[in-house]
């Protein structure tokens, strides 16, 4: 403190001088970017004249700091700034497939905006060094550099040069354009330069200067402490920033897509927001461990593992890593089994190697505590906590999807354009993955529909009670009197619908033949390469995903725990006659809890004792799954089976039949091998399904099978869907019975339509709830391009009913879900 009091005049002069330099320089660049004539701004010229004597003083100060060490550090800082500035440029263009990162010099690698200001300061310093008379005339103590203050002044000067470089970066005008304080001055893409604008800009630059002066100083001090092998909080600061910049690039690069919205490949502020988030996470780790080496190694491992995991998930599912994916960390063995290969072995090997490396280096690289006083450590730890709680609160208090205005970065990033409806993938690409995470963790599951009230729900109940009575006059059967098998076939979809795919022969002739004589068509999936649990949820409940928030990833883990009512077509059956067959981990997507809540008496999974069967492609074959159904069929009673196969799940590796192959023009040899394996696996599905239905046709009770693929396999490139984007989400379905039923005409359905379709196909009576779903199937489902007034009212009724169950007050009565006794 005494040191600051003795030298505060020097520090104040240096900071004030650089503040005025930043204001004049940034304003000049911004005006030139807008095509303004600087001669029209006399106040700017007056500010420049006032700045000259201050720069003269900075030159005097700099002349005393000149040394070999100073220039080495200046070169290091400039090199780091230039490198990371270019990394940010590359990150901003990560979704621009025409951008070539290797064209360094044509992509503004060198930043020249700061050159005039720097040259003036260095020119004045040069004059002082080579003019003894001038040096003698201004030999006062006010700007004198001594042994006591040299290091601090050197760090402060270097940090202000670094801050000046940053503010003069060619990406800064774009960032300032879309700050919430200035965005109101934008008119038709140009800034309206008024006196009020100039005053606002001056204040904004001053605020940014104040906010970034300390971080800049800590960054420079951290670099110098790092070079001296000295542990300090400044080292943690600079390493957290470096890791944040690198991780921002690597994670966004794993989810890159050729996406453009409003002529933008990445929204303004997306990188800045994500860098700040990552910085806070990494800084918190350093503060918790209070040492350098261990958190550095943990952060390195986190960046590498998260980047690889994100790349793998996006490769197979075209979806980013989401908070709901963290459930896999509870069961890493299952995760590694799903991934296949040797990922588990490499993970263990990596942990062992990191442990050995830490043990060897712990006393050699920056040993000692970062902060020696516990009180200061705890105070600093509060800052990341306050930051994350504050950001969560900002996202949680959105109104109509909008965040409160004038919150730096976040307001414009969220409010600039509504992309919520475009889903998690596009939002993570344009607004950053961190933005999607905060949205998911704080977002509402469903926006309250207009007109929601107890009276409205009662009105809907009465309406569809009458509809159910009308339908039931024409129907004679009860669904619980027969056996129903909902058969979700993992990744089943006819490859012939994918443009460019060629096959040596048709792998699914039997299923295609069945489709010609049964109610069949295409089902619209909500995911590509994944989303099985979501299809399963919609099929069982009849509640469509399209009414919910697009930020939701997994319905079972994000929606079901909050629901006040959880309906299912299986409710018509007694618990002892409800069976689930899914030969995978029972804890995946909390299925063990879900099926217990739904009253299923039997759950057969890969851990079930006495389970026998064969594997195809690394998973239990469809034949094995089908045999479990056959083994659990009882005598004459009606049963309900929820069946999900695993055979066609990744990894795709099947050599037989060897004569069957497939190819895609843009695939590598390995890609075509995977595609060929997948086609062969479909062949096995076809053969097993044929055998299964033949056996069911001989069962002495009514059986109906609802067969559908949950999604396409995640092995096709995006180019395969360029001409027909919708084909990426269309799978096959059919409804087969072992007795004569009508062939209905539903060429395209949603997974939530299956129960209404089943009840119609089997001529079964409906509850008011299924009467509503029947009306949706007939008049307001996804096959209808435009809804008329009646259809729109039906769609709105479903949305109100769904909201009441998912997030509302639970006004629905039990009778709404019960079929009236005839």
Tens of pLDDT, residue by residue over 52-64, are: 988 888 888 888 8
User: Last residue of a domain, which of 210, 228, 246?
Assistant: 228
CB neighbours (10 Å) of residue 99?
14
Which one-letter DSSP state was computed for residue 334?
A: H
Residue 433 counted as domain residue: yes
| 739 is a domain residue | no
Is the CB of residue 769 less than 8 Å from the CB of residue 761? Answer: no
Question: Per DSSP, what are the bridge partners of residue 619?
Answer: 616
Kindly state whether residue 395 falls inside one of the protein's structural domains.
yes
Higher local confidence (pLDDT), 149 or 436:
436
- pLDDT recorded at residue 363: 80
- Answer yes or no: is 464 within a domain: no
Examine the pLDDT at 555 and tell me if it is beyond 80: yes
Is the pLDDT reported for residue 2 higher than 60? Answer: no
Q: Helices 42-65 and 115-129 sit at what angle, rounded to 10 degrees?
A: 50
Q: Say if residue 290's pLDDT is above 90.
A: yes
Residue 62's pLDDT is: 86
Q: Where in 337-402 does DSSP place strands (E)?
A: none
pLDDT band of residue 467 (cuts 50, 70, 90) is very high
Average pLDDT over every residue of 651-664: 92
Beta carbons of 634 and 648 less than 8 angstroms apart: no
Tell the residue number behind the tokens 């930020």, with chain if given: 551
**Average pLDDT score over residue span 516-544:** 94
Verify that 236 and 222 share a domain, yes or no: no
The tokens of 343 are what? Answer: 């990922």
pLDDT band at 211 (very low <50, low <70, confident <90, very high): very high
Are residues 221 and 129 part of one domain?
yes
Structural domain boundaries, residue 72: 1-228
pLDDT (0 to 100) of residue 262: 73
Burial 597-627 (b: 16+ CB within 10 A, else e): ebebebbbbbeeeeeebeebbbbbbbbbbbb
Task: For residue 473, tell me if it sits in a domain.
Answer: no
Let me know whether 289 and 403 are in one domain: yes
The bridge status of strand 615-616 relative to strand 619-620 is: antiparallel
Same domain, 96 and 9: yes
Query: Using the 8-state DSSP alphabet, how is residue 661 labeled?
Result: -
Q: Tell me the pLDDT band of 646, cut-offs 50, 70 and 90.
A: very high
In 717-737, which positions are buried (b, 16+ CB within 10 angstroms) versus exposed (e)? eeebbeeeeebbbbbbbbbbb
Q: At how many degrees (to 10) do helices 2-33 and 115-129 cross?
A: 130
Number of folded domains that form the chain: 3
DSSP letter, residue 495? G
Whether 750 is in a domain gets the answer no
Cβ count within 10 A of residue 106 = 8
Average pLDDT over residues 369-376: 91
pLDDT at 339: 57
For residues 400 and 518, state if they share a domain: no
Query: Judging by DSSP bridges, how do beta strands 662-663 and 502-503 pair with one another?
Result: antiparallel
In a domain, 449, yes or no: no
Which is higher by pLDDT, 262 or 341?
Answer: 262
Tell me which of 295 and 189 has the higher pLDDT. 295
Give the pLDDT score at 442: 75
pLDDT band at 796 (very low <50, low <70, confident <90, very high): very high
What pLDDT, on a 0 to 100 scale, did the predictor assign at position 335? 59
Residue 183 predicted with pLDDT over 80: no
At residue 519 the predicted structure's pLDDT band, cuts being 50, 70 and 90, is very high
Residues 220 and 262 in one domain: no
Are 403 and 417 members of one domain? Answer: yes
- What span, in angstroms and rounded, lies between the C-alpha atoms of 693 and 697? 6
Is this structure's pTM higher than 0.75?
no
Spatial CB neighbours of 295, under 8 Å, sequence gap ≥ 6: 236, 282, 285, 286, 288, 289
**Is 205 in the same domain as 337?**
no
Reported as a single tens digit per residue, the pLDDT across 94-133 is 888 888 888 888 877 888 888 888 898 899 888 888 887 7
Domain end among 673, 700, 729: 729
Same domain, 242 and 201: no
Q: What is the pLDDT of residues 710-739, one digit of tens each?
A: 999 989 988 888 888 899 999 999 999 999
Q: Is residue 401 part of a domain?
A: yes
Q: pLDDT digit string (tens) for 215-273? A: 999 999 999 999 999 999 999 999 999 999 999 999 999 998 888 877 788 888 889 99
Provide the pLDDT for residue 384. Answer: 93
The pLDDT of 336-356, averaged and rounded, is 70
Count how many residues are written for the chain. Answer: 822
Phi, psi for residue 803 in degrees, rounded to 5? -60, -40
Cα–Cα distance measured from residue 486 to residue 71, given in angstroms and rounded to the nearest whole number: 73
Q: Give pLDDT, residue 734.
A: 98
Q: Within a 10 A sphere around the Cβ of 667, how many other Cβ atoms? A: 20
The three-point CA angle 641-647-648 to 5° equals 115
% of the chain surpassing 70 pLDDT: 93
Q: Is pLDDT at 279 greater than 90 in this prediction?
A: yes
Domain of 680, CATH number, reads 3.40.720.10
Regarding beta strands 519-524 and 619-620, do their DSSP bridges make them parallel or antiparallel, or are they unpaired? unpaired
Can you tell me the distance from the alpha carbon of 69 to that of 386, in angstroms, rounded to the nearest whole number?
39
When mean pLDDT is compared across 21-25, 257-261, 401-405, 780-784, the lowest value belongs to: 401-405
Mean pLDDT, the chain, integer:
88
Question: Is the model's pLDDT at 692 over the cut of 70?
Answer: yes
pLDDT at 536: 96
Distances (CA, A) of 314 to 214, 648, 663, 807: 38, 18, 22, 30
From 712, 729, 746, the end of a domain falls on 729
Question: Does residue 406 sit in the same domain as residue 492?
Answer: no
Number of H helices and E strands in the chain, helices first, is 27, 14
- Judged by DSSP in three states, 350 sits in helix
Q: 353 and 219, same structural domain? A: no
Same-domain status, 520 and 404: no
């Amino acid at each position: 403190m005494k040191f600051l009091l003795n030298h505060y005049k020097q520090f104040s002069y240096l900071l004030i001088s650089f503040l005025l330099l930043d204001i004049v320089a940034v304003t000049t660049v911004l005006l030139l970017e807008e095509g303004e004539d600087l001669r029209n701004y006399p106040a700017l010229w007056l500010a420049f004249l006032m700045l000259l004597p201050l720069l003269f003083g900075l030159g005097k100060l700099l002349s005393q700091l000149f040394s070999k060490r100073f220039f080495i550090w200046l070169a290091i800082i400039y090199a780091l700034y230039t490198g990371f500035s270019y990394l940010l440029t590359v990150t901003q263009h990560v979704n621009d497939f025409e951008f070539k990162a290797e064209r360094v010099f044509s992509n503004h690698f060198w930043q020249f905006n700061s050159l005039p200001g720097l040259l003036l300061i260095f020119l004045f310093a040069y004059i002082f060094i080579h003019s003894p008379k001038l040096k003698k005339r201004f030999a006062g103590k006010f700007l004198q550099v001594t042994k006591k203050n040299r290091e601090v002044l050197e760090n402060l000067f270097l940090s202000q040069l670094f801050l000046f470089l940053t503010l003069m970066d060619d990406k800064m005008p774009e960032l300032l354009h879309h700050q919430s304080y200035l965005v109101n001055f934008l008119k038709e893409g140009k800034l309206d330069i008024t006196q009020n604008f100039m005053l606002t800009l001056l204040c904004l630059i001053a605020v940014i200067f104040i906010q970034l002066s300390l971080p800049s100083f800590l960054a420079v001090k951290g670099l110098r402490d790092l070079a001296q092998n000295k542990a300090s909080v400044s080292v943690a600061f600079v390493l957290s920033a470096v890791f944040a910049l690198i991780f921002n690039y690597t994670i966004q690069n794993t989810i890159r897509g050729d996406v453009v919205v409003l002529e933008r490949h990445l929204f303004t502020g997306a990188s800045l927001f994500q860098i700040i988030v990552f910085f806070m996470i990494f800084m918190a780790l350093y503060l918790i461990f209070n040492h350098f080496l261990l958190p550095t190694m943990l952060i390195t491992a986190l960046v590498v593992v998260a980047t690889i995991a994100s790349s793998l998930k996006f490769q197979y599912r075209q979806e980013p890593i989401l908070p709901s994916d963290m459930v896999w960390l509870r069961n890493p063995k299952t995760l590694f089994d799903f991934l296949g290969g040797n990922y588990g072995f490499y993970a263990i090997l990596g942990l062992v190697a990191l442990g050995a490396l830490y043990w060897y280096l712990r006393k050699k690289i920056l040993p000692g505590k970062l902060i020696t006083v516990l009180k200061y450590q705890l105070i600093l730890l509060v800052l990341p906590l306050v930051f994350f709680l504050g950001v969560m609160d900002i996202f949680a208090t959105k109104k109509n999807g909008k965040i409160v205005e004038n919150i730096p970065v976040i307001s414009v990033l969220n409010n600039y354009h509504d992309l919520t409806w475009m889903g998690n993938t596009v939002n993570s690409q344009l607004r950053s993955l961190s933005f999607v995470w905060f949205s998911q963790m704080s977002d509402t599951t469903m926006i309250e529909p207009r007109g929601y009230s107890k009276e409205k729900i009662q009105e809907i109940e009465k309406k569809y009670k009458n509809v159910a009575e009308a339908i039931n006059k024409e129907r004679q059967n009860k669904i619980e009197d027969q056996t129903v098998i909902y058969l979700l076939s993992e990744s089943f979809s006819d490859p012939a619908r994918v443009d460019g795919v060629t096959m040596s022969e048709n792998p699914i002739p039997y299923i295609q033949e069945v489709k010609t004589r049964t109610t069949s068509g295409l089902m619209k999936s909500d995911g590509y390469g994944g989303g099985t649990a979501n299809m399963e949820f919609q099929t069982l409940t009849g509640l469509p995903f399209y009414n919910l928030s697009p930020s939701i990833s997994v319905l079972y883990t994000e929606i079901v725990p909050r629901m006040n009512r959880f309906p299912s077509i299986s409710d018509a059956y007694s618990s002892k006659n409800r069976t689930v067959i899914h030969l995978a981990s029972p804890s995946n997507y909390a299925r063990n809890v879900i099926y217990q809540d739904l009253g299923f008496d039997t759950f057969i999974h890969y851990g079930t004792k006495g389970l026998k069967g064969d594997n195809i492609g690394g998973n239990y074959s469809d034949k094995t799954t089908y045999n479990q159904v056959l083994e659990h069929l009882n005598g004459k009673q009606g049963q309900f089976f929820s069946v999900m196969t695993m055979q066609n799940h990744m990894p795709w590796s099947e050599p037989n039949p060897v004569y069957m192959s497939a190819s895609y023009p843009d695939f590598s040899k390995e890609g075509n091998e995977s595609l060929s394996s997948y086609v062969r696996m479909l062949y096995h599905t076809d053969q097993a399904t044929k055998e299964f239905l033949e056996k069911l046709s001989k069962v002495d009770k009514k059986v109906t099978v609802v067969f559908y693929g949950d999604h396409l396999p995640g092995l096709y490139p995006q180019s395969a869907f360029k001409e027909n984007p919708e084909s990426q989400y269309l799978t096959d379905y059919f409804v087969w019975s072992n007795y004569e039923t009508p062939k209905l005409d539903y060429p395209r359905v949603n997974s939530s339509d299956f129960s209404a379709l089943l009840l119609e196909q089997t001529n079964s009576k409906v509850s008011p709830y299924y009467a509503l779903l029947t009306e949706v199937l007939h008049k307001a489902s996804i096959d209808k391009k435009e809804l008329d007034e009646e259809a729109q009212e039906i769609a709105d009724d479903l949305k109100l009913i769904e909201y009441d169950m998912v997030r509302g007050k639970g006004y629905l009565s039990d009778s709404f879900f019960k079929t009236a006794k005839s």
